[in-house]
Structure 1
Amino acid sequence: MILAPTIDTTAVRVTGGRPLTGHVRVQGSKNVALHLYAATLLADEPVTLHGVPDILDTGVCAEITIRGYTASGAATADCSPVRPRWGRDHHRPGGSLMPTPLTTDDTARLAEALDAVVADGATPGGVIITGTAGGDRHVHTAGTVAPELGDHPPTDRTVYDIASLTKVVATWLLVGSALDQGLMDLDAPIRDFLPPISGEAPSGEVTVRQLLTHTAGLRASTRLDHYRGTSTPLHELLCREPLEDTPGTHRYINRGYILLGLALAHVTGRPLDLAASDAWQRYGMTDTVYGPLARSEQVAPTEQRIPGTPRIWGSAHDDNAALLGGVAGHAGVFSTTADLATYAEHLLTAAANDDPTGEWLRASLVPHAPIEPGLDRGLSWILAAGGRAAYHHGFTGTSLYLAPDTGRYLVICTNAVYHGTARTRIAPLRALALKTISTT
């Protein structure tokens, strides 16, 4: 039996019979959430809080939530900055982290693997960047942007439809910012962050955390075309749907991120694409945008859906994102390997320092649900190699891998979906990328 947690007057302390997964939220006097901490909280051990602002040194309001149980209390004893506990034996890199570049042999094997999938006809071409938080980059390109463009080769500035990488490049990033600003709560129902809905809304009762971790139990099949012609807002249609599974089991579902995208637009008061653009501009990701884009040799086309018709080129390949005008929480973003490398460098640097984005990344790398043996789902990210690697894929043939402990990253951009089902033949490249990035 899991007991409800309690908080004593000097520290956040969990009572219960075994380690429990939960989170700690610290709030200021104006009841605005300042930080969220995800961790495995050990029974009868204090949970130390990191990064508490100096202005709160006379009192902190702490709340702890564990599997639906919530308790709160005041902690007034010691509010000085200390290092947090991060659940699993997770190394928290310090500011003096020395990134470890991949070896020459590693980069050569990855280059050969990309060359091989291009030669096999899995993709017209592609780009790989391996690098570190310190700014080291190694770029390898292969093939062409598309047969329509002749021998024009891709570069690290070729723009690709990154498909579901949108989840970690846009939605996850903006959710972290919203949490830091007190605009969202990981364990509150998603309907709390959407325009008002009257009456029953089963899918609106699932939490932000459950949506991020694909454990909400929502309908798996996402067909927004079924809603065409209705006068009811999309957020209400989605929230009124019945659950398909009991929340808690991992099942990859796009509609949860569609809801998150709608919620982010509501709580920020800005369209999702503009909110995301502001974040990307701060990181120097000048080529990362939501589509549509004009057709050009700088933009890689994707699939031809019907023979004898124009190929998708500069518009979202994902049908549901296309129905939403190309702007959605689950897909729709276009980017370059250079911009994704910049993004990875920012995340890894933030993770090694006292930065809100770094706190959010470390909290997101705590396992929440098993996917299969050796793989777990964190908050958005897939976790592998005992948590040493975090990654995500895009259906079109894109991938982003992070290794915070070594300060390494790896970016793959291809338009493998150009050849339809042939995209599955990039699997060996992705497998090698994961093995390589996981090396200590």
Structure 2
Amino acid sequence: MNLSRRVVLGGGLAAGTAFFAPGVARADDFDKPFTGFAPPSTVLRDGTPASVGLDPAPIEVAKAQVIGHQTAPAGGHPLYPGHVGLMAHDGVVVATQADGYALRYRNATEELPQSEWLPMKRDTIFDMASVSKLFTSIAVVQLIEEGRVGLETAVAEYLPEFGAAGKEAVTIRHLLTHTSGFVAWLPLYSKYPDKASRIAAVMNQPLTNPVGTVYLYSDLNLITLGVLVERLRGQSLDEVVGARITRPLGMKDTGYNPAVKERTAATEYQAVPARGMVWGEVHDENSWSLDGVAGHAGVFSTVDDMAVLSQALLNGGTHRGARILDRKSVSLLITNFNQAFPGDDHGLGFELNQTWYMDALSGPRTAGHTGYTGTSIVIDFTSRSFAVLLTNRVHPSRAWGSINVARQEWAGGLGRALPITPRGSHVEWEAQALHATNAVLSVPLAVPAAGARLGFDLIAETEETDILRLESSTDGTTWTLVPMEIRHPGDTRTGEEDGSVSGTPGERRWSQVRAELAGGQQTLRWRYTTDGNTLGRGVAVSRIRVVGQGGVVVDSDASSNTFSASGWTKRSRS
């Protein structure tokens, strides 16, 4: 840990000085990422965004946005009846919200009488759906840690029946990273008559693709691993997860097949199979047909229990003195084993760097998962932050659509609450986080005939289709890209760009940019164009200077008023 990033204040404080209680860590800026894990003694506690140096405004925006999705647009459906969310940073829970309804509908089209609606509460228990895969993965990594399973060992060594149909070369890693070659899904619940035949069908299933050649997300991978855990532990999966994960961490509301139906959020009304309103039992049909306990789905949990798991992982596998994994094992969870499949970054069980739901928290050391019922967890090791959003989006029907926009807003609100601070006392402009916009920062220049050199600091944390362009124009109509040289921190090489920057998720450090400008009267602009898809953290520029033979042409610190900004926010540090 870099001790220079920790501040303890004592004695008197001058009026207006920001106060951080003795022993309480200040927040780390977005541009000063952590390495390693949080101290193992870090214990979750309640606080406010301001108490750890976060900007509360983006968090409040996110809270309002996710509530707004509970109201149906004209002629449409709400994204979900209700939700419970939690955000935390550096061991402090900075935001929680419970709103809407855990139960609202009688069937796929009719509401219950309003007197029978059940409100969401902070301790509402949710069907976590595929987030269950994380628990199975942790159980497998515990076996790896103990030396009972080898990551690169063939699965058939532990489950001989799995070697059928050409699967002899599939390893534990292939299953954990969805590179086994398995088909995505099988209708186990409808095609086979009982649990034994359903498990046998998975063991006997041939590969759709040669092992290790493609990334294809498959429930069969984790069903197999669930069977492996049971075989090696001599216990059912729910017993293993309870004994080795949830009970040690005090996750008292997490498990399979919840006992109290009324505490759970209802999911879907199912006519086929004829289950009616699914409430208090697992939604996933295959898991249901396996008695509610399976490697791919079946876990129920609350937002506070998922917060405990998240903090334990940030701490390197421990919380309140209970250790479920050692630090090396947690590192395996968040190591990208899928470098051969760009865009499908994956650790052991955990997805990595997925902007489509991690938004502004996304990066190479951001781990998480989503669940079909409307759940998501995003754990950012780089800022020691996490965002959990639990909804019952399939209540009453899965046909009502995706909630990815809400997932992005919730994680993005926390990511944008992390401040960006210029190096030194400089003026900084940050592009506003908006979809489908064209944000422009511009400055008129009178460049000497011999030309001039431009320099500025840059943070660009963007998706591939959101582009920052550096452009110049002599008439305000025709714009030309200005080639740039970008020096990234810790890298002695200089990267040459054509005048545009994009596709830089996880780039959280200031870079130094240099460019040559032709002589003459011109306007220089930074144009950041976003699409309607996802957003990263965005872009920020600082310490802009243009210097020619006669001296300084413009200095953003000394003459910030000469800059015009549309869609950019100016911040000054002193």
TM over 0.5: yes
Question: Normalized per residue, which structure has more helix?
Answer: 1
Percent of residue pairs bearing the same amino acid type: 27
Report what 1:269 is aligned to. Answer: 234
Secondary structure of the residue aligned to 1:412 is strand
Equivalent position to 1:306, from 261, 271, 285 = 271
Unaligned ranges ≥5, structure 1: 1-88
Equivalent position to 2:395, from 418, 421, 424 = 418
Mapped partners of 1:371, 1:198: distance in 2: 25
Mapped partners of 2:195, 2:285: distance in 1: 20
* 1:8-407 correspondence to structure 2 within 5 Å: 91-93=35-37, 95=39, 102-120=54-72, 121-147=78-104, 148=112, 150-168=116-134, 170-194=135-159, 196-197=160-161, 200-203=164-167, 205-225=169-189, 228-229=192-193, 234-248=198-212, 249-278=214-243, 279-296=245-262, 298-306=263-271, 310-350=276-316, 356-369=325-338, 374-384=343-353, 385-407=362-384
Report what 1:20 is aligned to. Answer: none
Which amino acid in the other structure matches residue 302 of structure 1?
Answer: T
How far did residue 235 of structure 1 move? Answer: 4.7
1:332-386 CA distances to partner (integer Å, 9 max, x unpaired)? 1111111111111111122699973432222221212269865512221111133
Secondary structure of the residue aligned to 2:207 is coil
Mapped partners of 2:170, 2:123: distance in 1: 39
How far did residue 171 of structure 1 move? Answer: 0.4
Secondary structure of the residue aligned to 1:221 is coil
Contact 1:129 1:411 in 2 (8 A): yes
Contact 1:133 1:348 in 2 (8 A): no
Secondary structure of the residue aligned to 1:127 is strand
How far did residue 221 of structure 1 move? Answer: 2.7
Mapped partners of 1:178, 1:304: distance in 2: 38
Mapped partners of 2:190, 2:220: distance in 1: 13
Mapped partners of 1:117, 1:371: distance in 2: 37
- In the superposition, the TM-score normalised over structure 2's length comes to 0.56
Call closer, same or farther: CA 1:158–1:200 in 2, change over 3 Å: closer
Call closer, same or farther: CA 1:292–1:92 in 2, change over 3 Å: closer
Which amino acid in the other structure matches residue 405 of structure 1?
Answer: T
Which amino acid in the other structure matches residue 326 of structure 1?
Answer: G
Report what 2:412 is aligned to. Answer: 435
Mapped partners of 2:372, 2:194: distance in 1: 29
Question: Normalized per residue, which structure has more strand?
Answer: 2
Contact 2:79 2:403 in 1 (8 A): yes
| Higher relative contact order, chain-length normalized (CA < 8 Å, sep 6+) | 1
Which amino acid in the other structure matches residue 428 of structure 1?
Answer: V
Q: Aligned-pair RMSD on alpha carbons?
A: 3.0
Mapped partners of 1:221, 1:198: distance in 2: 17
- Count residues in correspondence: 349
How far did residue 118 of structure 1 move? Answer: 1.0
Secondary structure of the residue aligned to 2:390 is strand
Mapped partners of 2:191, 2:172: distance in 1: 23
Secondary structure of the residue aligned to 1:280 is helix
Contact 1:389 1:438 in 2 (8 A): no
Which amino acid in the other structure matches residue 287 of structure 2?
Answer: A
Secondary structure of the residue aligned to 2:67 is helix
Report what 1:60 is aligned to. Answer: none
Mapped partners of 2:61, 2:240: distance in 1: 38
Mapped partners of 2:217, 2:369: distance in 1: 12
Secondary structure of the residue aligned to 1:136 is strand
Mapped partners of 1:116, 1:371: distance in 2: 39
In terms of mean alpha carbon deviation, does 248-257 or 101-110 score higher? 101-110
Which amino acid in the other structure matches residue 345 of structure 2?
Answer: D
Call closer, same or farther: CA 1:368–1:101 in 2, change over 3 Å: farther
Call closer, same or farther: CA 1:321–1:94 in 2, change over 3 Å: closer
Which amino acid in the other structure matches residue 93 of structure 1?
Answer: F
- In the superposition, the TM-score normalised over structure 1's length comes to 0.72
Unaligned ranges ≥5, structure 2: 1-32, 45-51, 73-77, 105-111, 354-361, 419-574
Which amino acid in the other structure matches residue 350 of structure 2?
Answer: W
How far did residue 239 of structure 1 move? Answer: 2.7
Report what 1:6 is aligned to. Answer: none
Which amino acid in the other structure matches residue 419 of structure 1?
Answer: P
Mapped partners of 1:200, 1:370: distance in 2: 28
Secondary structure of the residue aligned to 1:417 is coil
How far did residue 136 of structure 1 move? Answer: 2.6
Mapped partners of 1:232, 1:154: distance in 2: 37
Contact 2:86 2:93 in 1 (8 A): no
Report what 1:64 is aligned to. Answer: none
1:262-305 CA distances to partner (integer Å, 9 max, x unpaired)? 00000111110011111201101000010154431x11110001
Call closer, same or farther: CA 1:146–1:101 in 2, change over 3 Å: farther
In terms of mean alpha carbon deviation, does 254-263 or 174-183 score higher? 174-183
